[in-house]
Structure 1
């Protein structure tokens, strides 16, 4: 008798679907629907996103910056719907790279995966760097550049260790992180609203003079980084597709739940914090650069605030674990298809722990290098977050564009989840939103800064894409891969050759003898 998934589909069916796509998985399907949702939720991590970017968003655009969470949530839901159709048809580990490979081809997929992988590594660095000041606050030492870097590397090392222990441990860590996120979001936010509220909801429409007297739309667009940074992580549900039971049905549900629940929690936390700031103008002017720590100390006292910080740090840790899981599966997917230098190591698999150990280690080493490099950059966290968000969005939109191209060429999604007649308009709307988000992030807004600082996000994106293209030109590893590709679009029958029949041949309308 075959084992069955929570949805009733035999696990053998999931393996058979994967085999039909050209792969035999070495992963173990230890991840149920709640664990898969928890992985996406802790990757999206409303607590991490809001606690990391709240001060920046409030100082840049005042309380109305919260509306960027709503806008980004709707836009990324459209992207999640497109991804849901793709992963239901192609439940292969690695996410955007194998999806782009099937929708377009090897070279396009290589570049898509490269951009996304670099962005993932930088995102991991941004999360652990964001945790550094909270660790310093918890243990009562100064959050200097060096101590923040050491704390960040400690979080990174712990996450790498947990990721090395296998899918079951990863699933358990995701569920624990989900519980910590809910406590951090709902309990803390609720307590702040009951005990520390200093404003009414009307402030959500009052910018308190933010924007330096310029067009407020520019200030709001800059502060929208808080919303943009919050709403990715849902794709991690698909990055581990070979570890999920009944992936074609469960992963699309998990992606949508991640957006719904994560978005609601993030908005709730942001509103609770905004209403609890006593002097909003002081944050905007720069007099109070760390309003979150002050709010927590005021609301919970020194001892209580430390308890909250423990919950917050659990959220940072679980977010890092989920990000590494996604990055490790992507690196493994590259190695399995022999698409990059070092593929022999990246595709190696631990038979005992059922994880690709070298791919996991890579997802720790590269972010560690980014964290160390931040020592030499002023305002490093904002720059790291900006590039991470740009790279993730670019990686997403390359898949969305590939899906739109495939639709126009005849692709008909055939997985367990399909949008039907809504597929094309949703795909177009998702692309429009994504391009708008990319322009918003890359637009230079600090003309008084050196040109390279003003264009840092755009330049970093161009450098990553340029290095990827250069690598492809020098070392075309994608050409060696014989794994399936470009099979989403139906191939037409070869055209018949029309020629005049020879004298000894029957004409087309004459019956032939037997």
Structure 2
């Protein structure tokens, strides 16, 4: 009976996909928990918190922890908007097919281009960030060569595993989620029991980071800790054609990444914050790596390496999920002939049930970015500066498209809708995205050369300009007749659809 019901459910989803203009070769091997785990490991609270904790404390003191909670609320609003869209349009590739249906082909081209660039750079960033942890685990001195070698090795391994197909991806994502969550709870719990140097009142202490002025600028700088978290939920929609009952399950898994990821992020940040021996040393730079200091004090040399091994699992799972999401976006993009070499990138391996060339692109480009760091580490920093802003811009383009479509008469028709709260939530989500992106790109290095001070906006400008040039010259949006702009009722659409 259950096999019959499952087969019927798959037939229903395939029929719905066909009504949207697509047929799929993917296998629906991913359950709710597999889909959630993909989004959670993409979000990876351990990677985000451990990477940015020192920066947040040095910039805003222990009160910076509230940025983690604020960002969770803001991104939950975005996740609910995404849930409405994917519930109606459960098509692989996420941001690109959503914006195509909500607005039009040109808008979808730019959204897909910006987000694809951001994902490929983020894969490089996460892989590169794992290098120093490998060095600590092995007890060797970190160096550029070691970091680059570890990063490239990580990309090779996750690529080979991603070639294993959807079922293997789901299992590995769930393993990564379980290891990261258990690790975060175990480490955080032990720190709270044995390394608590402060009471909860310290969470409202600025540690003097405001200087002689307002604390707001210091907090906004430290708030990047929260801004760089919580965007893994989009990956749940990238694999829509591989999920069982995606119209109901994906909106649920998106929200779960915020609920569980938000709890894990706040818990580990709280535990680390209360375990900092001396905030003054972190603010002054005397303790430039408080996470390592705390973990070594709490666990000793052997226990410290066990914790580092768990952290590395988080980096590994994050890179795996990022690459899976990027490859599905590339495949979806190429399936509609929207990019160069589309005939190659849209090929699908029936034996492995993955798009092999799209996966290869999601391995080669990050590898080239990492290898570029051997020529100029500063160049790598400049490239990576775009990554997080690019993700926020891609999200913003979806939310803006949803807001525009709603104002023009779109009424979400999937199983998950926000009902009468839809417009308010969409406006609030867009407002959060604008504020977060502005804070992320705001220049904060007045003593640096102007191009370094404005590097985030400059890098975004370069990516957007390159996309616009290709769009105007090559006109890829005219190569395929896949549906677009049809979320808006025909009577309201007029001639304003961006084709």
- Normalising by the smaller structure, the TM-score range is over 0.9
SS in 2 for 1:304: helix
| Residue in 2 that maps onto 1:139 | 138
CA–CA separation in structure 2 for the residues paired with 1:116 and 1:135: 29
CA contact (8 A) 2:49 2:225 kept: yes
The verdict on how the C-alpha distance between 1:494 and 1:222 changes in structure 2, with shifts beyond 3 A counting, is closer
| Residue in 2 that maps onto 1:416 | 415
| RMSD, matched Cα | 1.8
Paired residues for 1:346-425 under 5 Å: 346-375=345-374, 376-378=376-378, 386-425=385-424
Bigger shift: residues 213-222 or 120-129: 213-222
Deviations 1:280-320 (A, max 9, x none): 21111111111111211111111111111111101110011
The verdict on how the C-alpha distance between 1:255 and 1:362 changes in structure 2, with shifts beyond 3 A counting, is same
Bigger shift: residues 211-220 or 387-396: 211-220
The verdict on how the C-alpha distance between 1:149 and 1:436 changes in structure 2, with shifts beyond 3 A counting, is same
CA–CA separation in structure 2 for the residues paired with 1:461 and 1:494: 31
| Residue in 2 that maps onto 1:61 | 60
CA–CA separation in structure 2 for the residues paired with 1:341 and 1:472: 11
CA–CA separation in structure 2 for the residues paired with 1:240 and 1:192: 37
Deviations 1:233-277 (A, max 9, x none): 001111100000000000000000000000110011111111111
CA contact (8 A) 2:383 2:459 kept: no
CA–CA separation in structure 1 for the residues paired with 2:487 and 2:461: 29
Instruction: Note the C-alpha offset of 1:60.
Output: 1.3
Paired residues for 1:263-278 under 5 Å: 263-278=262-277
SS in 2 for 1:492: helix
Residue 286 of structure 2 is aligned to residue 291 of structure 1: no
The verdict on how the C-alpha distance between 1:370 and 1:214 changes in structure 2, with shifts beyond 3 A counting, is farther
| Residue in 2 that maps onto 1:445 | 444
Kindly name which structure, 1 or 2, has the bigger radius of gyration based on alpha carbons.
Answer: 1
| Residue in 2 that maps onto 1:221 | 220
Bigger shift: residues 26-35 or 219-228: 219-228
Paired residues for 1:94-493 under 5 Å: 94-375=93-374, 376-378=376-378, 386-492=385-491
SS in 1 for 2:233: coil
Any gaps of 5 or more consecutive residues in structure 2? 495-499
Instruction: Note the C-alpha offset of 1:371.
Output: 2.0
The verdict on how the C-alpha distance between 1:147 and 1:252 changes in structure 2, with shifts beyond 3 A counting, is same
Bigger shift: residues 432-441 or 154-163: 154-163
SS in 2 for 1:345: helix
Paired residues for 1:25-44 under 5 Å: 25-44=24-43
Instruction: Note the C-alpha offset of 1:146.
Output: 2.3
Paired residues for 1:496-507 under 5 Å: none
CA–CA separation in structure 2 for the residues paired with 1:4 and 1:369: 47
The verdict on how the C-alpha distance between 1:180 and 1:264 changes in structure 2, with shifts beyond 3 A counting, is same
Deviations 1:91-123 (A, max 9, x none): 000000000000011111000000001111111
CA–CA separation in structure 1 for the residues paired with 2:4 and 2:64: 46
Instruction: Note the C-alpha offset of 1:219.
Output: 1.7
CA contact (8 A) 1:42 1:318 kept: yes
Instruction: Note the C-alpha offset of 1:211.
Output: 4.4
CA–CA separation in structure 2 for the residues paired with 1:345 and 1:81: 34
The verdict on how the C-alpha distance between 1:4 and 1:112 changes in structure 2, with shifts beyond 3 A counting, is farther
CA–CA separation in structure 2 for the residues paired with 1:334 and 1:11: 24
Residue 88 of structure 2 is aligned to residue 89 of structure 1: yes
CA contact (8 A) 1:115 1:394 kept: yes
| Residue in 2 that maps onto 1:505 | none
Aligned residues: 493
CA–CA separation in structure 2 for the residues paired with 1:379 and 1:451: 16
CA contact (8 A) 2:326 2:362 kept: yes
Bigger shift: residues 302-311 or 83-92: 302-311
Deviations 1:56-89 (A, max 9, x none): 1111111111111111111100000100000000
- The two structures have a TM-score, normalised by structure 2, of 0.96
